[in-house]
Structure 1
Amino acid sequence: MTLVSLLVFLEEAYYMYTKMPSPKKSILIWINAGAMMIATTSCFGMWIPRSTMFTDFTASAFLAMFIHKFQLMLVNECGGRREFLKRFRDTKLKISTGPLCCCCLCLPKKDINRRTLFMLKLGTFQYAFLRPVLMFLAIVLWANGTYTVGDSSVDSATIWINSALGVITITALWAVGIMFNLVRPTLTDKNIIPKFALYQFTVILSQLQTAIINILGTTGVISCVPPLPGPARASYMNQQLLIMEMFLVTLLCRVLYRRQYEEKTFFQETKDNLQNRSLYLNGKTMEDVSQNI
């Protein structure tokens, strides 16, 4: 399944590289690489159990870039930053959405400007930057014996690193959720809803499912089966599940992202309408002049 996922991604990347315009193809290639890289790192972690920390670091780095690139895709599908601001300049931005402020309905709506767009992009960029840094720090402490997976004591570095990862993850998902709710009516014809569903599917399975299974392994719910102890067996089971799940996500991504869309934006259409109206008026004026003569 991992090999098939890799081959499907390579074929899709070649198609996007040759058929799509430059700003768009790099973003879509990054997005399609997310599920494939998670499946590949899970396969290495399954066959080489001692490499789990390194495979988790690689998967986390790609997942962070995947979330940031997905938000950039939402802006790019609206015609880029400049046309995005022109299109939504008269729209109020609703920030009371999940997973951070879904219950805070009293939060005021914000105007959409360059500062607002910068803050939304910063919400995912900080995740793409800080998550690899924190995971690298975890690997260094793990090599030193300070970081232990599943250790929840206050004095350990594990609880503090995991808490920081949770905060930056929720912040990034909140920024993407705000952006999606804004552009969803505009991008319905570009299958943005199933694309967002696949994005959520990838994030939830790679993060929430992994956390739950690891907790079950450290608490003894998943018992040890020689030669694997409980935590190692839980990690092994999670990697097997991720390979199958990301295999399906890779196939679905190929179906959804292979389409080519017309790059004709709202403002190009408005410009064309104005030009047609001008030609019509000029033609009518010339006709009236000829009749008077």
Structure 2
Amino acid sequence: MTNSSIEEDVGCRHTDFPVSIVLFSELERQPVILGLTIAAGFMCIATVVLYFVTLRFLYSHRRLEGIKINKYKVIVMLGVYPLVSCVCMLSLLLPRTTMIAELMIAMYMAVCILMFVRMVVDYMGGFKAVCKEMEGEQMSFRTPPCCCCCCCPGVYKQKVNSTNLKRVNLMTLQGAFVRPIITIVALILWADKRYILGEDMNPSAASLYLNLIGAVSSLVAMWAMMVTFRSLRSQLQDYNVGKKFAALQLTIVVVNIQGFLFQILAKYNIPECVRALSSTVRAYRSNYFILIIEMLLLMIFARIAFMRKEESYKATTREIREKLKPAD
């Protein structure tokens, strides 16, 4: 066995995320990866610039009622793209911040789901206005990701009233509370070296149970978001709610599913370990680089969806709603 292979084998035994000095020494040996990292930096800057350009539009049209009532919610929702891009870029440069990046992204996603539900309700004038406008209508809880027609036979359509709207609100609100608690607990365990990234499948790992609680909380919040969207989309077609929902939903799917797939690949040493960079480290880095590209594209899509001159909501009659209502 050559000295280089022995050195690489010894280095691959270290599964911890390396410090920045070790990372930069590895990048000097891999000019292609260094070039991709620089390109990721430019894409991150482009995402941030697009975000502030969109904010300028919102503030320049803040007198329009539709923008006025939801301006701060839109600012928070659009902030997910530069935030994810920036924390991913930070983790590419400082690998040991990966833990903080993962928790920050998950926590911000929960807040964005809450903001979307509040935004849709506020477009119609608040919860009381929704109850008045939707009197006699029904909202279906048999929707993905938690309930479908075949797996939840006991879940039926419910009338639109203050009680059911409060339930939906609590379903999204719990995510905004549960995620910060999980983040605090995870950081405490991480400081004590009891929370290790890449050991999510180990039954004795604390990360397995924390991630399980977080996943259930996120699914419930996404379920409530889907119920709200499907119930009110026909009334709010003039507000481009479909594209706004798609922008947020795609972001949630991309961040969660893609990250999960890379973690599975890392279990099978894909990509392969390279000296001080283990398969887990390289998998996270690959995921973050792709996320930076995706956040730039999704920021462009979200900018198109949100940059609209929105007036105040005008109630429609039931006959008109039936014509506008899309088929499920």
Q: TM-score, normalised by structure 1?
A: 0.87
Match for 2:308 among 259, 268, 292?
Answer: 259
Which has more helix, going by share of residues? 1
After TM superposition, list the pairs within 5 Å mapping 1:103-114 onto structure 2: 103=150, 104-114=152-162
Look up the equivalent residue of 1:210 and give its one-letter code: G
> How far does residue 105 in structure 1 lie from its aligned partner after superposition?
4.4
- Does residue 84 of the first structure (1) align with residue 130 of the second (2)? yes
**Structure 1 equivalent of residue 163 of structure 2:** 115
Extract unaligned runs of 5+ from structure 1.
271-293
Look up the equivalent residue of 1:80 and give its one-letter code: G
**Taking CA–CA contacts closer than 8 Å with sequence separation of 6 or more, which of the two structures ends up with the larger relative contact order?**
2
How far apart are the structure 1 equivalents of 2:178 and 2:268?
29
How far apart are the structure 2 equivalents of 1:223 and 1:34?
31
* SS of residue in 1 equivalent to 2:70: helix
- Does residue 30 of the first structure (1) align with residue 72 of the second (2)? no
Deviations 1:244-284 (A, max 9, x none): 000011111111101012204217x99xxxxxxxxxxxxxx
> How far does residue 197 in structure 1 lie from its aligned partner after superposition?
1.5
Extract unaligned runs of 5+ from structure 2.
1-42, 319-328
> How far does residue 217 in structure 1 lie from its aligned partner after superposition?
1.1
Kindly report the root-mean-square deviation, in angstroms, between the aligned alpha carbons of the 2 structures.
Answer: 1.8
* SS of residue in 2 equivalent to 1:185: coil
After TM superposition, list the pairs within 5 Å mapping 1:96-245 onto structure 2: 96-102=142-148, 103=150, 104-151=152-199, 152-245=201-294
Q: Is the 8 A contact 1:79 1:265 kept in 2?
A: no
Match for 1:5 among 20, 23, 47?
Answer: 47
| Identical counterparts, % of pairs | 26
Q: Between 114-123 and 97-106, report the one with greater CA deviation.
A: 97-106
Deviations 1:215-241 (A, max 9, x none): 211332321123311000000000000
Look up the equivalent residue of 1:107 and give its one-letter code: V
How far apart are the structure 2 equivalents of 1:79 and 1:261?
14
How far apart are the structure 2 equivalents of 1:236 and 1:155?
26
Deviations 1:139-194 (A, max 9, x none): 21112111122322323212111110111011011101111110121122322222
> How far does residue 106 in structure 1 lie from its aligned partner after superposition?
4.6
**Structure 1 equivalent of residue 140 of structure 2:** 94
How far apart are the structure 2 equivalents of 1:227 and 1:154?
27
- Does residue 17 of the first structure (1) align with residue 63 of the second (2)? no
Q: Which has the larger radius of gyration?
A: 1
> How far does residue 10 in structure 1 lie from its aligned partner after superposition?
1.3
Q: TM-score, normalised by structure 2?
A: 0.78
